[in-house]
Amino acid sequence: MLSVRNRRSLRFAIGIGVAAFSPAPAASAQQRPAPIQYTIRIPAPETHLAEVSASIPTGGKPSVDLMMAVWSPGYYVQENYATNVSNFSAHTPDGRALTVEKPQPNRWKVSTDGAAKIVISYTLVCDHHSVTGNWIDTTMAILNGPATYISLAEHGKREHDVDLELPRQWKQSATSLASAADNMPNHYQATSYDELADSPIIAGNISFHEFEVAGAKHYLADIGEIPPEWDGALAAQNLKKFVTANYDFWGFLPFRKYVFLNVFRRGAGGLEHLNSTLLTSSPKSTGGGDMRWLQYVSHEYFHAFNVKRLRPVQLGPFDYEHAPTTPSLWISEGLTTYYGNLMACRGGLGTPQDVRNSLSKAITSVQTSPGRNVQTLEQASLDIFSTGGSGEGGNRNTTVSYYDKGLIVGLLLDARIEHATNGQKSLDDLMRLAYKRYGGAHGFTPEEWVQTASDVAGTDLTGFFHTLLQTTDEMDYSDALNWFGLRFAPSTDPAKAWTLEIRPDATPEQSAHLNRLTRQYKS
């Protein structure tokens, strides 16, 4: 059992966040805009309500415009979080009530009456199981930035401070945010609204497990209906394996600390964040070594590189009031699924058969979906805010999943690059070169991605990408099957006709190609 002192020490360690890339030189106190300071109270958790107050600097303006996000980066659904806000009011620090107008559903305009700061208060309904929504019950709270904070409608970098006042029976909170300067429990700070929005917080009674890879500390924070069979220590050991595989793959880890916020509750899904991931795990889960769970978490961890730091140019800086569109979610999600499965295998979790099973499942899903003949892969990405589901569970008759087809394109592209370079280069090299060119603040265009892939392959891949991304032509699997020594298992059952298996006549060279794809790293 942790003492109070150790609890504080552990919480403080978890609270240290890291920027996505090297920060600019610190501005002086006179240059930095004054911070926004939030206090979040949960006086009666059984009501699913949070009471939020915020001290907001006015900059001497006669009125200030406030906004709440309408969507969450990584989850491509318009959600309009302001519908969960009630009892909004504003006053000066000395208690004078201020006039509030609501020009838009997610905006408030507050007259300042000449005050240097104003204080706003509102009630937040927290009864959503989504990984982008908020949840409060008698045992825990899950708070997501876009769904929680009303902030100034402005551009630029401003610090945000969050102080949680938790129910007496709750012992801890966890987040990737840095601890505030006073080092008090449950008091955090963000360097910007972007960081605040990208750093969910869980609170309650948390079970922590810690491990370190390449000097970066990682925390598994379990909360919720933790099943008695759950072995958090074993789970952390397994997470360490694919984290190590990621380090071996990229050659670095882009943070000093990372938090797996693992919530056991009904629902589904996980969401990537800059230095953390918010996971929904089933209360029916057992052990800590289930391969489906590990591949799922591996996917979210690979996102720390692919999409949080290596991203399509449209996905940042974010406009939280207007959702972006990009044709490249097949890269952000499909290739992340491809590598999530590979990193689990390369880290020594599961077997190459698990990789083939995942590929087979995706191929079967696409090839038995009429939507593949209707919607192109780029259009699946561009249309996502209108078709719904954030890429999952769409109408199979009219849409195609950029998760599944993107994963398949990963396999075909991997084989194409290897074949073009006689095995000297692979998709691995493309990912690393793209990160070097466009990681961090840059972002890439579809044209830059095609050019980078062509540079790695040593041949023009424009036509290859055009067919796979911009047409509904059937995908040609022959080159990839021949390169890796695979075939589709003979079957008259359409549900089994797309199951990958190793060819009985595979050559040693083909076997070597497949073994290199699913190799286990040595470190």
Paired tokens of 439:
């990681």
Res 523: pLDDT: 56
Across 374-390, average pLDDT: 88
The CA–CA distances, whole Å, from 467 to 409, 416, 457, 474 equal 11, 14, 17, 9
Q: Which domains does the chain possess?
A: 40-167 (2.60.40.3650), 305-517 (1.10.390.10)
- 273 Cβ neighbours under 8 A, 6+ residues apart: 74, 176, 198, 199, 200, 308
| Spatial CA neighbour of 361 closest among 287, 292, 431 | 292
Which pLDDT tens digit goes with each residue over 134-147?
Answer: 999 999 999 999 99
The greatest distance separating any two alpha carbons of the chain, rounded to the nearest whole angstrom, comes to 83
Q: Has residue 32 got a pLDDT over 50?
A: yes
Mean pLDDT of 284-289: 78
Mean pLDDT to the nearest integer, 89-99: 97
- Which tokens go with 378? 């780029």
Does residue 111 surpass a pLDDT of 90?
yes
pLDDT at 21 over 70: no
pLDDT for res 430? 98
Residue 16's pLDDT is 35
Over residues 40-53, the pLDDT tens digits come to 999 999 999 999 99
Q: Which two tokens stand for residue 16?
A: 């240290």
Q: Enter the tokens of residue 268.
A: 């589904």
What is the predicted pLDDT for the residue at 1?
Answer: 29
**Residues 323, 467 contacting (CB under 8 angstroms):** no
The 8-class DSSP code of residue 453 comes to H
In the 3-class helix/strand/coil scheme, how is 256-283 assigned residue by residue? Answer: CEEEEEEEECCCCCEEECCCEEEEEECC
Q: What percent of the chain has pLDDT over 70?
A: 93
Q: What rounded mean pLDDT belongs to the chain?
A: 92
Structure tokens at 426: 């692979």
Could you tell me the two tokens for 476? 């040609």
φ/ψ (deg, to 5) at 371: -60, -20
SS3 178: strand
The answer to whether the beta carbons of residues 276 and 257 sit under 8 Å apart is no
CA gap 160, 176 in Å, rounded: 14
209-253: pLDDT as tens digits: 999 999 999 999 999 999 999 999 999 999 999 999 999 999 999
Is the pLDDT at 317 greater than 80, yes or no? yes
- Residue with tokens 């929005």, as numbered in its chain: 197
Region 101-129 average pLDDT: 97
Q: Residue 512, SS3?
A: helix
Q: What is the pLDDT of residues 432-466, one digit of tens each?
A: 999 999 998 889 999 999 999 999 999 999 999 99
Cβ partners under 8 Å of residue 521, min gap 6: 244, 245, 248, 249, 346, 347, 348
Long-range contacts of 359-364 (CB under 8 A, 24+ apart): 359/407, 359/408, 359/411, 359/500, 360/498, 360/499, 360/500, 362/337, 362/403, 362/404, 362/405, 362/407, 362/408, 363/404, 363/408, 363/477, 363/498, 363/500, 364/495, 364/496, 364/497, 364/498, 364/499
- Predicted confidence at residue 375, as pLDDT, reads 96
* Confidence band for 204, pLDDT divided at 50, 70 and 90: very high
The pTM assigned to this predicted structure is 0.93
pLDDT digits (tens, 9 = 90+) for 322-380: 999 999 999 999 999 999 999 999 999 989 999 999 999 999 999 999 999 999 999 99
Query: Does the structure show a pLDDT above 70 at 398?
Result: yes
pLDDT reading at 198 higher than 60? yes
Residue 390's pLDDT is what?
60
